[in-house]
Amino acid sequence: MERQRSFGFYALLTLISWLSMLGFDLFLHGGLLAGLYKQPHPFLLSPERSFALIPLGYLSFLLLAVLLVWLITRMALQGWRRSAIFALQVGFLIWGSFSLGLISISTIPLALLAGWFIGQTVEMGIGGAVIGIGLKSPKLGRLFFSVFGFVIMMVILTVVLQNVGLIFANESF
């Protein structure tokens, strides 16, 4: 028998899942894919304009976190593994659809599109895993601190990748 949870529990779980997604998103775009954004392309906004609009992109992930909490709860998925696999499948379908749509109407570079597709799919899986853990937990404090540690680790890895990229950019081989 499933225990009754308050709206506040689900709202907090959504925010924690969203935080995990944001941490990975920073690593994905600021670290792994950063070099692809440095090359000017008519598909991309200027770096200044993109930076100013980051909050809108992050709000879109909040909607995806809401979707995942709603679906995983309604489907009564148990545990991090089942939730993560389900979220990866949802991510694959959402980002695959988005990618096909973009390639049909834009000049997006294929390397960037592939990075978005794979990375955003993984991001959904991470969010799903967090939701699965949270749904098995009576309280969310420990989960929050674990996710906060994950975000700190993603920030550190992003800074490291950016600095390694700067080193390689300054080397002539």
Residue 112 has pLDDT above 50, yes or no: yes
CB 129 within 8 A of CB 23: no
C-alpha–C-alpha distance, residues 102 and 100, integer Å: 5
CB 64 within 8 A of CB 127: yes
Which amino acid is present at 99? Answer: S
Interval 1-20 mean pLDDT:
90
Structure tokens given for 150: 């994950």
Q: Please give the helix or strand (H or E) that residue 125 lies within, else none.
A: helix 110-136
Residue 122 has pLDDT above 70, yes or no: yes
Listed range (86-95, 102-111, 124-133, 145-154) with the worst mean pLDDT: 102-111
DSSP state of 29: I
pLDDT in tens, 49-74: 888 999 999 999 999 999 999 999 99
Q: Residue 35 has what pLDDT?
A: 87
Q: Residue 167 has what pLDDT?
A: 62
Q: Which residue has the tokens 């695959």?
A: 96
Which amino acid is present at 103? Answer: I
**Listed residue (137, 51, 61) closest to 95, CA to CA:** 61
The rounded percent of the chain whose pLDDT value lies above 90 is 77
**Listed residue (98, 94, 115) closest to 37, CA to CA:** 115
Q: Residue 173 has what pLDDT?
A: 45
Residue 169 has pLDDT above 70, yes or no: no
